Amino acid sequence: MGRLLTILFCSVLTATALDAQDPVFSQFFAAPMQVNPAFAGTTFAPRITVNYRNQWADYEGGYETYSVAYEQSLEDLNSGFGVVVLGDDAGNGIYNTTRFHGVYSYRIKINRTSAVRIGVEAGMIQSSLDWDQLVFLDQLDPITGASGGGGVPTPTEEQRPVNLNNTAVDIGAGLLFNSENAYAGLSLKHLNSPDESLLDINENLGAGLPLRITLHGGWQIPLIAGNNSRNSAFVSPNFLAVRQGEFAQINGGAYFGVGSFFGGAWYRHTLNNADAAIALFGVRYGVFRFGYSFDLTLNSLTLGNTGGTHELSLTINFEDSKEAQRRRKTSRYNNCFKMFN
């Protein structure tokens, strides 16, 4: 299976360069700055998020994505800032992408419970290719497979790229509106179309990463009132729509929280077909929030072939500390983002 995936990886390598797309977490609420830079500083106290995604778990050499982020608000300046690091690994390290961004947001108050946030991000994208792990179609022999006599790999006539590493500058921006119980946002990533490609197959590859457009929104419906998030209950219907080049998807569903527990369910549809049903379960303890989600594959790949997709998230939100809770009582801070916190 691993050798077959390597061959398939070679087949789609050119297509990936021509129409690259960003990884999108199913637990997007646990990676808010990946969705929209305007989310930076929406918590009253510092927040750290860690995310891991294993896409198509039964495929040896599938896709793995990692993310670590830190953010905090600057209440006196009506601002927030953060840093985000994201790593994407395809084919057991054959193709790697690492992204580092600094994020800043500014809040414009409309009234006591509503505001508009403007966010910007700037950073670097580094991509690398391990050419020696690739197996091309011209290396296959019907008898010996990808190895010639004596187990020596059959040579390929494919031209080795001069540069197997590339670094590009990347910028993005976003808007986020929130009221007491609702939010809506728009983000534009890769405004400068950074060129992360490694293969100069033709002159058209210089187009760079396509612009990623994200629309998202939701509202928060209280079910049980409480003194704090630990003894309250709410449900938050929400959606996330992403368009990047020829790729498009929309997630629709709901997140719910009951005391120290939370969960949710979503349906994801791509441009042409059903993609996945997503289930989430998690627990809060002190300043920690741990979540697990599973994507049940609904498209032609089927669950039996892919094993689905697993995601883990860890959020450390110091807003939930006793000291922050005391300080927050004297602040005009508005929390309509419980599912993100």
What's the mean per-residue pLDDT of the chain? 83
Q: Which residues does residue 284 pair with via DSSP β-bridges, in sequence order?
A: 289
Q: What per-residue confidence (pLDDT) applies to 152?
A: 65
Residue 210 has pLDDT above 50, yes or no: yes
Q: What per-residue confidence (pLDDT) applies to 326?
A: 59
Question: What are the backbone dihedrals phi and psi of residue 127, each rounded to the nearest 5 degrees, phi first?
Answer: -120, 150
CA distance linking residue 215 with residue 188, whole number of Å: 9
Residue 14 has pLDDT above 50, yes or no: no
Do β-strands 233-244 and 212-219 pair in parallel, antiparallel, or remain unpaired?
antiparallel
Q: What per-residue confidence (pLDDT) applies to 149?
A: 58
Q: Which CATH architecture has domain 2-340?
A: Beta Barrel (2.40)
Percent of the chain scored above 90 by pLDDT?
53
Q: What per-residue confidence (pLDDT) applies to 299?
A: 77
Mean pLDDT of the 28-46 span: 94
CA distance linking residue 33 with residue 30, whole number of Å: 9
Two tokens, residue 213: 């457009």
pLDDT digits (tens, 9 = 90+) for 140-156: 666 655 665 555 667 77
Residue 286 has pLDDT above 60, yes or no: yes
Question: What are the backbone dihedrals phi and psi of residue 45, each rounded to the nearest 5 degrees, phi first?
Answer: -125, 170
- Cβ burial of 194 (10 Å; 0-12, 13-18, 19+) is buried
Q: Which residue has the higher pLDDT, 183 or 137?
A: 183
Confidence (pTM):
0.84
CA distance linking residue 122 with residue 104, whole number of Å: 9
For the chain, state the CA radius of gyration. Answer: 22
Q: What per-residue confidence (pLDDT) applies to 307?
A: 77
pLDDT digits (tens, 9 = 90+) for 172-195: 999 999 998 999 999 999 999 998
Quick one: CA torsion of 188, 219, 48, 290, rounded to 10 degrees? -130
**Residues 6 or more apart whose Cβ sits within 8 Å of residue 195:** 166, 168, 205, 206, 207, 208, 209
Q: How confident is the model at residue 20 (pLDDT cuts 50, 70, 90)?
A: low
**3-state secondary structure (DSSP) of residue 261:** strand
Question: What are the backbone dihedrals phi and psi of residue 134, each rounded to the nearest 5 degrees, phi first?
Answer: -80, 145
Do β-strands 274-285 and 79-90 pair in parallel, antiparallel, or remain unpaired?
unpaired
Q: How many CB atoms lie within 10 A of CB 272?
A: 8
- Asked if 304 and 282 count as a contact pair (C-beta separation under 8 A), the reply is no
Angstrom distances, CA of residue 98 to CA of 71, 79, 182, 239, 279: 19, 27, 33, 27, 28
Residue 252 has pLDDT above 60, yes or no: yes
Two tokens, residue 31: 């990676």
Q: Where is 33: in which H helix or E strand? A: helix 32-35
Two tokens, residue 156: 């390929």
> Smallest Cα–Cα separation from 276: which of 247, 246, 303?
303
Mean pLDDT of the 105-131 span: 93
Residue 137 has pLDDT above 60, yes or no: yes
Percent of the chain scored above 70 by pLDDT?
77
Residue 282 has pLDDT above 60, yes or no: yes
Among 46-60, 70-84, 131-145, 263-277, the least confident range: 131-145
- Find where tokens 């398939």 sit: 8
DSSP code of 330? T
Two tokens, residue 184: 């809506």
Q: What per-residue confidence (pLDDT) applies to 231?
A: 67
CA distance linking residue 8 with residue 305, whole number of Å: 15
Q: What DSSP letter does each residue of 96-124 carry, written as one string? A: EEEEEEEEEEEEEE-SSS-EEEEEEEEEE
Among 29-43, 222-236, 289-303, 308-322, the least confident range: 222-236
pLDDT digits (tens, 9 = 90+) for 64-95: 999 999 999 998 899 999 999 999 988 777 88
Q: Which residue has the higher pLDDT, 180 or 320?
A: 180
Q: What per-residue confidence (pLDDT) applies to 142?
A: 63
Q: What per-residue confidence (pLDDT) applies to 332?
A: 46
